[in-house]
């Protein structure tokens, strides 16, 4: 089987929140864009919260998101996974992205949001032990994936709204 590789982080100069996924799906890898599957709720939610309208071209959405101080990255940098389901990710040979380096270079990132349970599980198991200061504010949100179709869009949007609400947290709420 072929190894798939993730993308570099979407990161502006002043990000203070990081949205973490597991690994881009097949549609995203083919398009070379985060959350490219047309039924993924990520960009519609980002449109509602930060003006990153899903009807904008990808670069314009990315600019809107980074202007809102939001960064995006995935736990996994490379792995073998047939298809797009997180359950199909093979742990043997998995390469984890360098979150310690990212967070050391960007200490202003004080909040981490997980796009679903798998991203949180992988981060807690494979990234958190590598962090110099693991006391970063973390919150799991419902997956925006079309595989999470049992949760309606409005309920997902309501849950994701906490990113805006949490922006009022003190800068040191999670990291010292």
Catalytic residues, which ones?
40
SS percent in the chain: helix, strand, coil, step 5: 35, 20, 45
Bridge-based pairing state of the strands 76-80 and 3-5: antiparallel
CA dist., res. 113 & res. 102, Å (int):
15
Q: Find, among 43, 79, 78, the residue nearest to 64 by Cα.
A: 43
What CA–CA distances, in Å, run from 101 to 22, 53, 73, 119? 18, 30, 13, 18
């Amino acid at each position: 089987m072929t190894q798939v590789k993730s993308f570099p982080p979407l990161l502006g100069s002043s990000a203070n929140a990081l949205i973490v996924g597991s690994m881009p799906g097949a549609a995203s890898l083919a398009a070379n864009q985060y959350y490219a599957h047309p039924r993924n709720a990520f960009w519609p939610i980002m449109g509602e919260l930060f003006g990153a309208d899903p009807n904008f071209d990808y670069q314009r959405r990315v600019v809107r998101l980074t202007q809102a101080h939001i960064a995006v990255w995935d736990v996994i940098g490379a792995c073998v996974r047939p298809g797009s389901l997180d359950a199909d990710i093979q742990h043997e040979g998995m390469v984890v992205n360098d979150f310690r380096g990212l967070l050391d270079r960007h200490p202003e990132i004080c909040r981490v949001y997980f796009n679903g349970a798998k991203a949180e599980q992988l981060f807690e198991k494979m990234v958190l032990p590598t962090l110099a200061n693991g006391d970063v504010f973390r919150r799991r949100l419902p997956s925006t994936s079309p595989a999470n179709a049992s949760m309606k869009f409005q309920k997902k949007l309501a849950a994701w709204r906490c990113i805006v609400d949490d922006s009022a947290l003190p800068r040191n709420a999670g990291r010292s």
